[in-house]
Amino acid sequence: MHEFNIGYYVHHHGAGHGVRALTIAEQLGHPVTLIGSALPQGPLASHIHRLELPPDTAEGVEEPALTGLHYAPLGVPGLRSRMARLAQWFESHWPCLLVVDVSVEVALFARLCSVPVIYMRQHGQRDDLPHQLAYEAANALLAPYPQELEDPALPERWRAKTAYSGWLSRFAEQPAAEPEPGRVLVICGRGGSGLSAPLLEAAAVACPSIELRVAGLPDDAFSKAPANLVPLGHLADPLEEMRRAWVVMGSASDSLVSEAASLGCRFVAVAEARPFDEQLHQARRLEAAGLALGLEAWPAPVQWPSVLDKAGALDGLRWRRWADIAASARAAAIIQEQAEAVFKSLGERY
């Protein structure tokens, strides 16, 4: 088998897509190019490269309603430029395969350029036509979560096309949590949150016996912070804070869920507003499995004592047994096996 290149398209919304991409890329045994407009920064392994794309938005541009696509506005220079750069990369790096995490339009564009695609699945109600087209066009689907948390309503044709890696966490090889009683960590994600400083201040007042530590909001966001509220600002690495927390509260995003699972945190998964109700679906699945406390919205301050009591009764070590330390290696193996199978089937065209 000849050498081939792997492109990995990284969606720019939130930090989770980039963290996941880097976790997988480090395990791949072929040259990898991370592609997107909000790529992970810092040094990379020698086999990992970056292709920066311009933003695909422009002020004042209206998005037309299209049945088969999610996002295809007219007259956006950055959108033309990013697709041109993608096509150039396909041409100069052939033979190549593109992992798409996530974008229906990028997946379809790659397929139209005769490039094989692996599409990253996400939770949520994704029976709309654009997702169905992307799933159909992909050579394989990859789900970054345990098969046991799959949506029971998923059609069998997509289930059969999906490979499950398990939760992908940058903390997979770290020691288990060593919680300190009364210490609660709230993580505000970058993808948008229903949290506010006044709500957290009121929650701290409602829970005087706990220390409420808040990551993700600037220190100056709090004007009336009680003594038991500790602003942590933006944390590049929340590992030690998560390990020491009696309870961790945060969004039901793939990245935070996977990190909490791998550390065995007692976790409150709050469904933030996201397209296709992806976090709502994940919070409900975690709750049904008894792995975390799943909420459909951030609780009112008066509800926090009850929520924390319920979360404190969770068995974090049981949840940790669901987190597979080999998940990133398994995801990389899935990608490599799919690429090898595709290029073998192409014969002389490869």
Q: Among residues 140, 47, 112, which one has the least CA distance to residue 337?
A: 140
Give residue 192's pLDDT band: very low, low, confident or very high (50, 70, 90): low
Q: Which residue has the tokens 């909490």?
A: 260
Q: In sequence order, which residues have a C-beta less than 8 Å from that of residue 339 and are 6 or more positions away?
A: 4, 6, 30, 97, 116
Q: What is the pLDDT of residue 57?
A: 86
Give residue 61's pLDDT band: very low, low, confident or very high (50, 70, 90): confident
Instruction: State the average pLDDT for the chain.
Output: 94
pLDDT (average), residues 164-179: 96
Token pair for 72: 């295809």
User: How does pLDDT run across 303-318, given as a tens digit for each residue?
Assistant: 999 999 999 999 999 9
Return contacts of 71-78, CB within 8 angstroms, 24+ apart.
Answer: 71/103, 71/104, 71/105, 72/105, 78/53, 78/54
Q: What is the pLDDT of residue 198?
A: 94
Token pair for 95: 């033979």
Per-residue pLDDT for 1 more than 60? no
pTM of the model: 0.94
Query: Cα separation of 120 and 17, whole Å?
Result: 10
Name the DSSP class of 203: H
Q: Among residues 122, 147, 100, which one has the least CA distance to residue 254?
A: 122
> Is residue 61 within 8 Å of residue 74, measured between CB atoms?
yes
Q: What is the pLDDT of residue 93?
A: 97
Q: What is the pLDDT of residue 258?
A: 96
**Cα-Cα-Cα-Cα dihedral of 308, 171, 236, 42, to 10°?**
-170
User: How does pLDDT run across 275-305, given as a tens digit for each residue?
Assistant: 999 999 999 999 999 999 999 999 999 999 9
The number of angstroms, rounded, from the C-alpha of 329 to the middle of its chain's C-alpha atoms is 17
Q: Which domains does the chain have, with CATH numbers?
A: 5-166+326-349 (3.40.50.2000), 180-320 (3.40.50.2000)
Query: Cα separation of 213 and 230, whole Å?
Result: 5
Query: Cα separation of 315 and 291, whole Å?
Result: 8
Q: What is the pLDDT of residue 289?
A: 95
